[in-house]
Amino acid sequence: MDGQDAARSTGGKASEQVRREVWVRSGGRCALCNAYLLEGPMSGRTVNLGELAHIVGRSTGAQSPRGGHPLDLARRDDADNLMLLCASDHGEIDAPGGLAAFTVEKLRRLKQVHEDRIRHLTSLGPDRATTVLRVVGRIHGKEVELSRQ
Ligand SMILES: [Zn+2]
């Protein structure tokens, strides 16, 4: 693993607080494919598969994906500029072919949609459990057959 890969997989200089914020906002799932990122699919064991991906690259250099965006350098390791992704999606958005498809605006929108969905789903407490209602009536004067199953 060279220096660039190491920086990519760890989210650069993001603090522990920022890392925690991104993980919680994303529900431990990839913001693009929704894969659960704390369990190895082959081992079934707890494995950290998440990577913090920069939307606007960490530096302004040409080697930094989307790094030419005018976002202030001091804000590039903020939670708002980091997405929790699986390694496959992280690699794709930063690959030469992926850069054209995954613009800063598109990644920001996808991150927001995912994080809003996670927040909504995790806000549903036990008082919001589903209850099945069975309502039986007549249609055109005839009884309707509706089994309990
Ligand atoms: Zn993914």
Annotate 116-132 with DSSP letters as a single string: HHHHHHHT--GGG----
Write down the pLDDT at residue 148: 77
Count of alpha carbons within 13 Å of 137, Cβ hemisphere only? 4
Residues 115-138: tens digit of each pLDDT = 999 999 999 888 887 888 888 888
Calpha distance 30→45 (Å, rounded): 18
Residues 42-75: tens digit of each pLDDT = 999 999 999 999 999 999 988 999 999 999 999 9
Domain boundaries, the chain: 3-143
On whether the CB atoms of residues 53 and 7 are closer than 8 A, the answer is no
Calpha distance 53→77 (Å, rounded): 10
What are the residues whose beta carbon lies below 5 Å from ligand 1 (ion)? Answer: 30, 32-33, 35, 86, 89
What is the CA(54)–ligand 1 centre distance, in A?
14
What is the CA(21)–ligand 1 centre distance, in A?
18
Calpha distance 80→122 (Å, rounded): 20
What is the CA(123)–ligand 1 centre distance, in A?
23
Residues 70-89: tens digit of each pLDDT = 999 999 999 999 999 999 99
What is the CA(55)–ligand 1 centre distance, in A?
15
Model-level pTM greater than 0.85? no
